[in-house]
């Protein structure tokens, strides 16, 4: 087992990154016996996630605290063709101050430096984001490797990672070649992700499986394992561009894979559901799922992120409700 969590110093540097606290997932040789052993029974998985909200309930202060924690784990994201530096700077400002100070004060959270987990942008926006977040601990994540389809020339996909790292991104969200999964070419997937990881250097790598395009939960389970063996720091569901993005069944399969990988290698790999999570209530369900299946250690931004753009707004409204007792309205919260 690698060394356990190192002491968490004050918010200096990029504390959200797993490699700050954890020995980074070193990966391991591709173990095809293990990969092929992985099964995922869809109906049982649906039953588990279907009853989860009925099994765990959060009230009052607990709900507020969890929602604040959720904010610290949001990768505040803009991935649009019409992104401009101005738009990205606005988003970064929101990342620095995601909740109105008076609400934080009412909740007794003043001085807690609540920020989002990261800002997630396309490569071209990385320098703007890095500059806008200077002086904070908020990392900049760049989507990469021919995001979202991952079908640009392989050489260019690898090179893209290097460019983004050079531009200051400390997290790289890569996309895998879905065709390797769909054709069962696990070796090719492993080699690809290994090379991406090498290209990331010190930046940490989130591996986007695009689960909505993998055909079955079994494929999700196996692809998760292969990516972790290849050194992924995080595994992530979706680009947000597939027709089906993060779902609870997919999440259950992926976090179970993370748990098994941890049990067998000692490495904690992070999890990022992305796309489609826009309600505070959904966020709580995800966090309960993580707490149940992986444990409290994963309820920190170095091991869990939401890939979301509109989730924050709903959480802000709920928090104001907690603070005042009155239901809130979106216009009362600054947009990003």
Partner 1 sequence: MTIKDIFETMDYGPAPESPDQALDWIRNHDGRFGLFINGSFTTPRADFESRNPATGELLAQLTTANGDDVDEAVTAARRAFGPWARRSGHERARYLYALARLLQKNARLFAVLETLDNGKPIRESRDIDVPLAARHFYYHAGMAQLMESELPDRVPLGVAGQIIPWNFPLLMLSWKIAPAIAMGNTVVLKPAEYTSLSALLFAEICQQAGLPKGVVNIVTGAGDVGELIVAHEDIDKIAFTGSTEVGRRIREATAGSGKALTLELGGKSPYIVFEDADLDSAIEGLVDAIWFNQGQVCCAGSRLLVQEGIAEDFYTRLKARMSKLRVGDPLDKSIDIGTLVDPVQHETVSHMVAQGGAEGEVFHAPCQLPNQGCYYPPTLVTGLTPSAMLMQEEIFGPVLCATTFRTQAEALAIANNTRYGLAASIWSENLNRALDVAPQLVAGVVWVNAANLFDAAAGFGGMRESGFGREGGWEGLAAYTAPRLKQKNLKPIPPQSTPKDAHAGGLDRTAKMYIGGRQTRPDSGYSRAIWSAKGALLGHVGQGSRKDVRNAVEAARKAASGWASTSGALRAQILYYIGENLSARTDEFSRRINDLTGGKDGKREVETAISRLFTYAAWADKYDGRAHSVPIRGVALAMHQPVGVIAALSADEAPLLGLVSLMAPAIAMGNACVLAASEPFPLAATDFYQVLETSDVPAGVVNILTGQHADMAETMARHMDVDACWSFSSTDISGLVEHASASNLKRTWVNNARARDWYSSAGEGREFLMAATEVQNIWIPWGE
Q: Does 155 bind partner 1 (CB under 8 A)?
A: no
* Cα separation, 274 vs 141, whole angstroms: 13
* Cα separation, 52 vs 176, whole angstroms: 30
Q: To the nearest 10°, report the CA torsion of 239, 241, 242, 246.
A: 50
Measured from the CB atom, the residue of 169 and 253 that comes closer to partner 1 is 253
Q: Work out the number of other CB atoms within 10 angstroms of the CB of residue 214.
A: 21
* Cα separation, 125 vs 299, whole angstroms: 28
Binding mask 3-42 for partner 1 (x = CB under 8 A): ------------------------------------xxxx
* Cα separation, 141 vs 120, whole angstroms: 5
Measured from the CB atom, the residue of 142 and 258 that comes closer to partner 1 is 258
Using alpha carbons, select from 222, 203, 274, 172 the residue that is nearest to residue 24.
203
Specify whether the CB–CB gap between 124 and 164 falls below 8 A: no
- In the complex, minimum distance from the CB of residue 218 to partner 1, in angstroms, rounded to a whole number: 8
Restricted to residues 48-77, the positions that interact with partner 1 (CB under 8 A) are 48, 51, 54-62, 64-66, 68-69
Q: Does 112 bind partner 1 (CB under 8 A)?
A: yes
Is 281 a catalytic site residue? no
Q: Does 289 bind partner 1 (CB under 8 A)?
A: no
Is 272 a catalytic site residue? yes
From 132-140, 143-151, 270-278, 289-297, span contacting partner 1 (CB under 8 A): 289-297
Specify whether the CB–CB gap between 41 and 328 falls below 8 A: no
Q: Does 109 bind partner 1 (CB under 8 A)?
A: yes
Q: Does 136 bind partner 1 (CB under 8 A)?
A: no
* Cα separation, 145 vs 174, whole angstroms: 5
Q: Does 133 bind partner 1 (CB under 8 A)?
A: no
Is 241 a catalytic site residue? no
- Which residue in the list 94, 233, 236, 282 is annotated as catalytic? 236
Using alpha carbons, select from 95, 90, 102 the residue that is nearest to residue 71.
95
For partner 1, the binding residues (CB under 8 A) are: 39-48, 51, 54-62, 64-66, 68-69, 107-109, 112, 216-218, 256, 260, 263, 287, 291-292, 296, 299
- The catalytic residues are 173, 236, 272
């Amino acid at each position: 087992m690698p060394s356990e969590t190192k002491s968490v110093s004050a918010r200096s540097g990029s504390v959200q990154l797993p490699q700050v606290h954890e020995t980074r997932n070193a990966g391991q040789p591709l173990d095809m016996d293990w990969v092929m052993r992985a099964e995922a029974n869809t109906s049982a998985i649906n039953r588990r996630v279907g009853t989860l909200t009925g099994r765990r309930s959060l009230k009052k202060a607990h709900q507020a605290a969890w929602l604040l924690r959720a904010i610290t784990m949001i990768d505040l994201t803009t991935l649009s063709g019409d992104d401009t530096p101005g738009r990205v700077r606005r988003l970064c400002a929101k990342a620095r101050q995601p909740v109105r100070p008076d609400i934080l004060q009412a909740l007794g959270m003043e001085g807690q430096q609540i920020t989002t987990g990261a800002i997630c942008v396309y490569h071209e926006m990385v320098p703007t984001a890095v500059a806008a977040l200077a002086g904070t601990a908020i990392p900049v994540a760049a989507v990469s490797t021919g995001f979202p389809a991952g079908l640009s020339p392989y050489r260019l996909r690898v090179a893209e990672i290097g460019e983004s790292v050079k531009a200051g991104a400390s997290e790289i969200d890569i996309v895998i070649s879905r065709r390797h999964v769909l054709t069962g070419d696990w070796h090719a997937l492993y080699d690809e992700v290994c090379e991406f990881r090498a290209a990331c250097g010190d930046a940490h790598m989130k591996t986007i499986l695009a689960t909505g395009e993998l055909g079955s939960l079994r494929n999700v389970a196996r692809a998760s394992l292969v990516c972790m063996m290849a050194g992924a720091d995080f595994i992530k569901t979706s680009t947000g561009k597939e027709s089906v993005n993060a779902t609870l069944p997919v999440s259950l399969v992926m976090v179970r894979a993370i748990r098994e990988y941890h049990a067998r290698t000692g490495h904690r790999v992070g999890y990022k559901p992305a796309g489609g999570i826009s309600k505070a209530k959904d966020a709580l369900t995800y966090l309960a799922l993580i707490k149940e299946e992986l444990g409290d250690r994963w309820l920190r931004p170095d091991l869990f992120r939401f890939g979301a753009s509109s989730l924050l707004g709903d959480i802000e409204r709920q928090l104001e409700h907690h603070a005042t007792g009155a239901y809130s309205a979106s216009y009362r919260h600054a947009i990003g």
